[in-house]
Amino acid sequence: QGGNNAGHTVVVDGKEYDFHLFPSGIINPKAISFIAQLNYSSLYLLTGLKDWEKRLIISDRAHIVFDFHQAVDGLQEVQRQAQEGKNIGTTKKGIGPTYSSKAARTGLRICDLLSDFDEFSSRFKNLAQQYKSMFPTLEIDIEGQLKKLKGYAEKIRPMVRDGVYFMYEALHGSPKKILVEGANAALLDIDFGTYPFVTSSNCTVGGVCTGLGVPPQHVGDVYGVVKAYTTRVGIGAFPTEQINEIGDLLQSRGHEWGVTTGRKRRCGWLDLVILKYAHMINGFTALALTKLDILDVLDEIKIGVAYKLGGKRIPYFP
């Protein structure tokens, strides 16, 4: 689920990598990486990794994020700010508009790009015109984009496979270790997150089934990754946020910047209510607690343990 809106910083052998689209496993020369969602423009920005093309597979069913999707994402944020006085705080990577195209059944997928290019071009033009009619200030170089896309099609063609069959073979062939990496956090889930300040996809464990075509019985261990304090990029509910020197300390010591946006992350104490809520939805079999060392300099560490609604403690996340 998702696309190049999620930023994952990975450090291996002292070298730092910032991934926005690639599975983190692309670093491992023994692992095959599989992408189920795709932004075509990100593929050829990967440097410093040897033979990565040979160990990357792209699903033929992956939707394509076009440049005009990204432009519209920015225009929508400006509109929200003007109309409501606040925006959602998206990464402006075109993810929301691409999911809108997908839900409206006007989206284009990798299989479309790699089959009949005349048919693809016709549908691309129709989609571009739809957005131009909605956003009169939007400028799209249709012919230039199509030329670029045709070039990308030939570059990625060797990597594209039938995604469902690829996963089926991986699950039923010779025994393998399969690790699924999700983009974004549980509280950004479109259904279960802090709506409307969420992403456009299901980034809870159900995304494994809907995003990859993996039957539920094949989902084994579920690892929750949580920091020893809470952070958030962009606006939205944050009860334990510390808008003071504590928040500043966590932000600076933890190097809390959005990997994709470069924005400062908002910081606060660990919120066990949202952690329990994430567990209710995902059923963690283990937790990976990170960044404990950031708290080393504090004499006192606080933790959010409960929410009150109307003066009474509640056992759920409202």
Active site residue ranges: 102
Cα 216 from Cα 264, distance rounded (Å): 37
Distance CA 256, CA 267 (A): 8
Token pair for residue 154?
């030939």
Which tokens in the block code for residue 71? 């432009």
81 token code pair? 């700010």
**DSSP conformational letter for 266:** E
Q: Name the one residue in this structure whose structure tokens are 């494994």.
A: 208
* Closest CA relative to residue 119, chosen from 108, 135, 128, 130: 108
Strand duo 303-304 + 229-232: pairing: unpaired
Q: Is the dihedral of CA 103, 104, 107, 111 positive or negative?
A: positive
Measured CA to CA, the distance from residue 119 to residue 141 in angstroms comes to 18
- Residue 313 pairs in a beta bridge with 308
Render 185-214 in DSSP notation, one character per residue.
-GGG-TTTSSTTSS-SS--STHHHHHHH--
- Tell me, what DSSP letter sits at residue 32? P
